[in-house]
C-alpha cells in the first residue's frame, strides 16, 4: 500500500460570488431619499431667505447710489435727507406701519438705535438723523452716517 497525500485529495477553495454593486440595499435607498429631502429643504429655505432679504439688497444699492451722489455733488442736507427717507421706507416695508409711520425726531433716532441694541451692536446713529428734514441739521459726519446706515440695513431684525 502506498500512502496517499491527504492534501492532494482536497478540492480547491470556492470563493463566493462577488457582491453586486447594484442594486443597493434598502437602507441605502432610504438614506438617499433622506439626503434628497434634506437637500430640497435646505435649498427651499435658502431661496426663501434670499427672497425675504431682497429689500435689503435693494436698499443697500440705493444707499451706494446716495453715497456716490454725495461724493460727486450732493449737499450734506440732501444726503442726510435721502438716507433718512431710505431708512424710513425700509422700516415701513418691514415693521408694522402703526409703529413706524408716526416716528420722527428723537423717537425716530431711538427706534433706529434700539434696533442696533437688539442686534448687539455698539454702533449708534448720529443725532443729526433726528433733524434730517430741518433747514440746518448741524454738523454731520456723512461717511459715518452712511456706514451706520449700511450696518443697520444688514443687521436689523425686521418686524412682524
Give the pTM: 0.76
* CA gap 47, 50 in Å, rounded: 5
* CA gap 145, 129 in Å, rounded: 8
Backbone angles phi, psi at 4, to 5 degrees: -95, 145
* CA gap 108, 84 in Å, rounded: 10
- Tell me, what's the pLDDT at 119? 62
* CA gap 151, 62 in Å, rounded: 14
Instruction: Give the Cβ contact number of residue 90 at 10 Å.
Output: 23
**Coil, strand, or helix at residue 116?**
helix
- Tell me, what's the pLDDT at 48? 97
pLDDT beneath 70, residues of the chain: 1-2, 117-121, 159-160
Amino acid at each position: 500500500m502506498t500512502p496517499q497525500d491527504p492534501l492532494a485529495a482536497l478540492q480547491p477553495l470556492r470563493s463566493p460570488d462577488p457582491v453586486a454593486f447594484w442594486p443597493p440595499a434598502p437602507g441605502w435607498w432610504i438614506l438617499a431619499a433622506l439626503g434628497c429631502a434634506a437637500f430640497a429643504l435646505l435649498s427651499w429655505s435658502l431661496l426663501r431667505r434670499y427672497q425675504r432679504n431682497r429689500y435689503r439688497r435693494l436698499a443697500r444699492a440705493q444707499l451706494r447710489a446716495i453715497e456716490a451722489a454725495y461724493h460727486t455733488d450732493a449737499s450734506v442736507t440732501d444726503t442726510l435727507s435721502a438716507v433718512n427717507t431710505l431708512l424710513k421706507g425700509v422700516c415701513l416695508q418691514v415693521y408694522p406701519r402703526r409703529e413706524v409711520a408716526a416716528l420722527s425726531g428723537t423717537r425716530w433716532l431711538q427706534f433706529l438705535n434700539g434696533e442696533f441694541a437688539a442686534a448687539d451692536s455698539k454702533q449708534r446713529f448720529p443725532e443729526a438723523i433726528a433733524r434730517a428734514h430741518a433747514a440746518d441739521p448741524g454738523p454731520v459726519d456723512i461717511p459715518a452716517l452712511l456706514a451706520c446706515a449700511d450696518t443697520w440695513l444688514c443687521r436689523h431684525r425686521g418686524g412682524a
